[in-house]
Amino acid sequence: MFGGLALYRDGTIFGIVADSELYFKVDDGNRAEYEAGMSHPFTYTRSDGKKVSMSYWLVPAEFMDDRDGLLALIEKSVAVSQKLS
């Protein structure tokens, strides 16, 4: 799909790693945290040249050194993915 890695919990994908960057699943319920961190969605260009944006957003830098904050983002992203399954 995108040439990256998928992160799963209990069979549910909640994140991806692409181009050495970490992205978590986002919807209207948790998007504000990512927007506040100046994040952006994962995008890729299809073979036909069309740019595609996915519902995975770059984990804001401030969470990378905040274990508890990162775990909270994971929990929210898992819940988003399970809701959409």
pLDDT at 53: 94
Domain ranges of the chain: 5-84
pLDDT, tens digit, 9 for 90 and up, residues 48-77: 999 999 999 999 999 999 999 999 999 999
Domain 5-84 maps to which CATH number in 3.30.930.10, 3.20.20.70, 1.10.1130.10, 3.30.1460.30?
3.30.1460.30
Per-residue confidence at 4, pLDDT binned at 50, 70, 90? confident
Is 22 in a helix, a strand, or coil?
strand
pLDDT, tens digit, 9 for 90 and up, residues 12-50: 999 999 989 999 999 999 999 999 999 999 999 999 999
Taking a C-beta distance cutoff of 8 angstroms, is the pair 3, 76 a contact?
no
Per-residue confidence at 85, pLDDT binned at 50, 70, 90? confident
